[in-house]
């Protein structure tokens, strides 16, 4: 190295001194076995050991960050993941520049969302096998004092280890209206979104629209303890799914209205949400519309119901029904509402007792859209009424009371009532009315603690009654052991009256958590954020490793 | 050769100085103001707790921290930031839950697109980190009662 290059090397080296490398590893491994009741399906039985692992690395030098995620599905991905998650490969990579003055540029894989995500959201959910980043670039800019923000992105969407044939372009802006008027008496922001997917012709489709666009406008307001957010979105004509195939002939537009409001003060909170969706799912590729693996999803349409913490309440889970379809059922979307109320009875009051009591109520109702459907051999139409509610898809009501009973004993009592229209949600048949009660306790014992949870569900059909219990003992600071059982004792079919038991041990230290267990997993929908993945019931050994370094 | 060794040494030093820096990480709080995390990491230690309204152990942890935080702060002052990873499904509930439960944390930040979670390489909630002068000095993943006391011990040791 020539001497005159030394200063340059020094500057470079100096900047590297301030560099940070960080990484995290998540590895979920399973060895499936057959027991007397549950056996692995024949087509899956060849590979009994399955593993999904993710190594995420980032390296930050001043204003630059580079990162990548290596994913391994070896020898095969866990049961019922998207089959293209196969082998070892680089899942995502990116380079980012952020000048700390409002400019942020990313090249590579981009995760982001516009507004509430109804127009555009990319995210990763490893349990569901969702990793739908845009491979391309994004520029974000925030004007002085965050008066406005602008985002623009362009690229293709990740599907498995590949990406879609279509290209995605998106622009989102947000203006702080109250700031512009120089007032801080209230806050108000106006947001505008535009998302476009461009996809070339395809022999399967008859004259499909090459461009599908979503236009969105949103207004968020806050005044003292109140808030009111309203958004409207419109989607231009796109294909729809009919039973197992995407309709090659008919294309339909869609729209969404979302209203959120609430009031909050210390010890009290209220939220309301009303939403109407008509043909409002969005996929980056026509062929993948409505696919069971949640691949190529471009927007986020969560079910607006309470996300339940207790296993029995997660048997009949509502999934948002934004889709238009004429076969096997006629559906055009959903309309409904959700309300939440939180209240804290203060310490020293009659209901608050010595330590205070927290109570929360939640109520949700979801219906199909009422409309006139006309079905011809190869031409179908629908005309919906804007606020007419059709058949009920789902409702629930739940009460959650949490109270500290003594210095070392926290308890919770939960009541959940669900009305689940299986016929319309799962497109099978039946309707289930289920009542679930859970009693949850955490008791502190010197330096250890014990969790004891019991649940019962009364259901009039489908699986009928369940009883469940979970106990977990945490000891020596870093260790936990747990035993869990869900017993479907009320099932009409005697052979299906199964115990879904599991037991295991957990070790935690700093940023590392290792869990080893053995047991049975109930089959059905595994849902995160109201987005679900079907898992078959199975028995086996599980080893999960999670660490950041 | 000497220069090469020097450069190599400096690079190696750089690589050994590893932890997730807080620079360039900001998010909106529940009042709608943008907060930069490195500005909260001042002379006092900074605790960052990742949580979600639907995560039972997170609610347990934050409830227990809230009960003790007043006493702790009179003993040794520090900043406590609760970063909600609630996505658009539940993000509206964050403010009502925080107020409904009378939480008294320094900041409650919203990370609905999970960008802070990704920037700090967090896999799951709850995860709690303690920073002091832009260095990660303690972390725990998951929660069992008593973890909050360990966290406060580390805060005291830092000062």
Residues of chain A with C-beta less than 8 angstroms from the C-beta of B101: 342, 344, 358
pLDDT value, residue A529: 66
The label of the residue with tokens 């106990």 reads A471
What is the average pLDDT across A458-482? 95
> How far are the Cα atoms of A345, A347, A356 from residue A350, in angstroms, in the given order?
8, 9, 9
> Looking at residue A5, what is its pLDDT?
52
Distance CA A115, CA B36 (A): 21
Share of chain A above pLDDT 90, in %: 81
Is the pLDDT at A9 greater than 60? The verdict is no
Find, among A258, A267, A264, A288, the residue nearest to A193 by Cα: A258
Q: What is the pTM of this model?
A: 0.91
DSSP structure string for A96-121: EEE-SSSEEEEEEEE--EETTTTSEE
d(CA A450, CA A443): 5
More confident residue, A4 or A525: A525
pLDDT in tens, B10-57: 344 344 444 577 888 889 999 888 898 888 877 899 999 999 999 999
Over residues B86-112, mean pLDDT: 92
Alpha carbon A283 to chain centroid, angstroms: 16
* Residue A176, pLDDT above cutoff 50: yes
Sorting pLDDT into bands at 50, 70 and 90, what band is A530?
Answer: low
**CB spacing of A358 vs B100 below 8 angstroms:** yes
Q: How many beta carbons lie within 10 A of that of residue A7, not counting itself?
A: 9
Q: Is A491 touching B (CB cutoff 8 A)?
A: no
pLDDT tier, A471 (very low <50, low <70, confident <90, very high otherwise): very high
> Does the pLDDT at position A15 exceed 60?
no
Report, as an integer, the average pLDDT of A7-28: 68
- Phi, psi for A263 (deg, rounded to 5): -140, 140
* pLDDT tens, position by position, A82-102: 999 999 999 999 999 999 888
Which residues on chain A are in Cβ contact (under 8 Å) with B116? none
Q: Which residues of A touch B8 (CB under 8 A)?
A: none
Provide, rounded to the nearest whole percent, the portion of chain A with pLDDT above 70: 96
Residue A513 parent element (H or E): strand A512-521
| Per-residue pLDDT, A152 | 98
Judged by CB atoms closer than 8 Å, whether chains meet at A548 and B122 is answered as yes
Contact B54 A410 (CB under 8 A): no
**A-B Cβ pairs (cutoff 8 Å, strict):** 183
Q: Is A213 on the interface with B (CB under 8 A)?
A: no
Contact between B24 and A442 using a beta-carbon 8 Å cutoff: no
Res B4 pLDDT > 50: no
Q: Report pLDDT for A146.
A: 82
For the residues of A291-345, what is the DSSP string, one character each? -TT-TTB-S-----S----SGGGGSS--------B-SSS-B-EEEEEEEEEEEEE
Choose among B32, B121, B144: nearest Cβ to A449. B144
Mean pLDDT, chain A, rounded, equals 92
Q: Do A300 and B87 touch (CB under 8 A)?
A: yes
Contact A508 B13 (CB under 8 A): no
Q: How far is CA B1 from CA A2, A4, A49, in A?
A: 11, 15, 50
List the one residue out of A51, A151, A404, A364 whose CA is nearest residue B64. Answer: A404
pLDDT score of A532: 80
Burial of B75 (0-12, 13-18, 19+ CB in 10 A): exposed
What confidence tens digit (pLDDT) does each residue in A441-450 have?
999 998 899 9
A309 contacts chain B (CB < 8 A): yes
Whether A255 contacts A235, CB under 8 Å: yes
* Residue B15: predicted pLDDT: 43
A39 touches chain B (CB under 8 A): no
Q: What is the pLDDT of residues B125-141, one digit of tens each?
A: 999 999 998 889 999 99
CA-based diameter of chain B, in Å? 65
- Which chain B residues are within 8 Å of A442, Cβ to Cβ? 60, 145
Chain A (471-490) residues lying within 8 Å, Cβ to Cβ, of chain B: 474, 477, 480
What confidence tens digit (pLDDT) does each residue in A293-331 have?
Answer: 999 999 999 999 999 989 999 999 999 999 999 989 999
CB contact, 8 Å: A344 with chain B?
yes
CB-based burial, A99-136: b 16+ in 10 Å, e otherwise: eeebebebbbbbbbbbbbbbbbbbbbbbebbbbbbbbb
Residue A157, pLDDT > 90, answer: yes
pLDDT of the residue at A17? 53
- B123 near B7, Cβ under 8 Å? no
Cβ-Cβ contacts under 8 Å, B151 against chain A = none
Which of B19, B89, B127 lies nearest to residue A530, judging by beta carbons?
Answer: B89
Measured in angstroms, the CA of B24 and the nearest CA of chain A are apart by 6
Q: Which residues in chain B are contacts of A16 at CB distance < 8 A?
A: 10-11, 14-15
- Summarised one tens digit per residue, pLDDT across range A217-272 is 999 999 989 999 999 999 999 999 998 899 999 999 999 999 999 999 999 999 99
- Spell out which residues of chain B touch residue A260, defining contact as CB-CB under 8 Å: 92
Shortest distance, CA A525 to any CA of chain B (angstroms)? 18
Which residues of chain A have a CB within 8 Å of the CB of B140? 508, 510-511
For residue B145, the chain A residues in CB contact (below 8 A) are 442, 444, 449, 474
Between the alpha carbon of residue A411 and those of residues A19, A229, A451, B144, the distances in Å are: 46, 35, 10, 15
pLDDT digits (tens, 9 = 90+) for A365-419: 999 999 999 988 878 999 998 878 899 999 999 999 999 999 999 999 999 999 9
Task: Compare all CA atoms of chain B with the CA of A440 and give the residue at the minimum distance.
Answer: B56
Give pLDDT tens digits for B68-86. 999 999 999 999 999 999 9
pLDDT reported for residue B31: 87
Q: Do B100 and A360 touch (CB under 8 A)?
A: yes
Poorest-confidence range of A15-29, A204-218, B12-26? Answer: B12-26
Q: A76: which residues sit within 8 A by CB, 6+ positions away?
A: A47, A50, A86
Q: How many CB atoms lie within 10 A of CB A535?
A: 17
Beta bridge pairs of residue A466: A457
Task: Say whether B32 and A222 touch across the interface (CB within 8 A).
Answer: yes
Q: Are A262 and A227 in contact (CB under 8 A)?
A: yes
């Amino acid at each position: 190295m020539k001497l005159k290059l030394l200063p340059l090397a020094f500057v470079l080296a100096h900047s590297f001194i301030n560099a940070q490398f960080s990484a995290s590893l998540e590895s979920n491994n399973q060895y499936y076995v057959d027991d007397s009741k549950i056996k692995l399906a024949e087509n899956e039985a060849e590979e009994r050991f399955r593993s999904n692992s993710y190594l995420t690395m980032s390296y930050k030098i001043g204003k630059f960050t580079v990162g990548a995620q290596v994913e391994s599905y070896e020898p095969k991905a866990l049961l019922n993941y998207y089959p293209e998650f196969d082998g070892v490969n680089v899942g995502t990579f990116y380079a980012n520049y952020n000048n700390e003055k409002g400019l942020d540029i990313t090249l590579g894989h981009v995760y982001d969302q516009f507004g509430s995500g109804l127009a555009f959201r990319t995210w990763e959910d490893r349990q569901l096998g969702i990793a739908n980043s845009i491979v391309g670039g994004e520029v974000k800019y925030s004007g002085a004092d965050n008066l406005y923000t602008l985002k623009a992105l362009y690229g293709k969407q990740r599907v498995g280890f590949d990406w879609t044939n279509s290209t995605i372009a998106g622009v989102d802006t947000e203006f702080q209206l109250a700031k512009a008027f120089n007032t801080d008496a209230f806050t108000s922001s106006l947001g505008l979104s535009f998302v476009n997917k461009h996809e070339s012709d395809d022999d399967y489709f008859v004259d499909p629209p090459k461009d599908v666009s979503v236009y969105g406008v949103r207004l968020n307001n806050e005044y003292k303890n109140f808030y009111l957010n309203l958004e409207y979105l419109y989607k231009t004509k796109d294909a729809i799914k009919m039973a197992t195939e995407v309709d090659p002939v008919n294309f339909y537009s869609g729209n969404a209205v979302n209203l959120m409001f609430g009031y909050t003060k210390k010890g009290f909170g209220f939220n309301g949400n009303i939403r109407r969706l008509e043909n409002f799912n969005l996929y980056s590729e026509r062929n993948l519309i409505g696919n069971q693996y949640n691949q190529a999803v471009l927007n986020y349409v969560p079910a607006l119901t309470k996300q339940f913490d207790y296993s029995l309440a997660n048997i009949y889970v509502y999934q948002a029904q934004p889709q238009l379809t004429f076969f096997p059922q006629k559906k055009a979307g959903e309309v409904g509402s959700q309300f939440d109320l939180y209240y804290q009875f203060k310490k020293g009051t009659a209901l608050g007792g010595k330590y205070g009591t927290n109570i929360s109520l939640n109520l949700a109702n979801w219906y199909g859209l009422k409309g006139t459907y006309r079905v011809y051999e190869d031409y179908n139409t629908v005309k919906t009424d804007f606020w007419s509610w059709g058949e009920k898809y789902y409702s629930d009501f739940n009460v959650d009371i949490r109270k500290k009973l003594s210095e070392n004993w926290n308890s919770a009592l939960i009541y959940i009532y669900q009305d689940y229209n299986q016929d319309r949600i799962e497109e099978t048949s039946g309707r289930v009315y289920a009542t679930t009660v859970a009693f949850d306790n955490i008791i502190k014992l010197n330096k250890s603690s014990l969790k004891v949870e019991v649940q019962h569900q009364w259901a009039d059909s489908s699986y009928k009654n369940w009883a469940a219990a979970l106990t977990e003992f945490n000891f020596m600071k870093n260790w936990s052991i747990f035993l869990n059982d869900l017993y479907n004792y009320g099932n009409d079919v005697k052979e299906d009256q199964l115990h879904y038991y599991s037991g295991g041990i957990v070790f935690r230290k700093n940023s590392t958590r290792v869990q080893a267990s053995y047991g049975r997993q109930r089959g059905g929908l595994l849902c995160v954020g109201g987005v679900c993945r079907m898992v078959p019931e199975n028995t086996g050994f599980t080893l999960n490793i999670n660490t950041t370094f | 050769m000497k220069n090469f060794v020097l450069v190599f040494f400096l690079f190696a030093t750089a690589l050994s100085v590893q932890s997730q820096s807080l620079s360039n990480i900001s998010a909106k709080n529940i009042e709608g103001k943008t907060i930069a995390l490195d500005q909260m990491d001042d002379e006092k230690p900074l605790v960052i707790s990742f949580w979600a309204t639907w995560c039972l152990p997170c609610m347990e942890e934050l409830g227990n921290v809230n009960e003790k935080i007043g006493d702790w702060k009179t003993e040794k002052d520090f900043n406590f930031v609760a970063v909600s990873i609630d996505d658009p499904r539940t993000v509206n509930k964050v403010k009502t839950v925080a107020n409904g439960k009378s939480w008294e944390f320094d900041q409650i930040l919203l990370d609905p697109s999970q960008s802070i979670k990704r920037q700090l390489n967090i896999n799951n909630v709850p995860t709690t980190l303690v920073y002091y002068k832009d260095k990660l000095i303690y972390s725990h993943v998951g929660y069992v009662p008593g973890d909050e006391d360990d966290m406060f011990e580390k805060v005291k040791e830092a000062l």
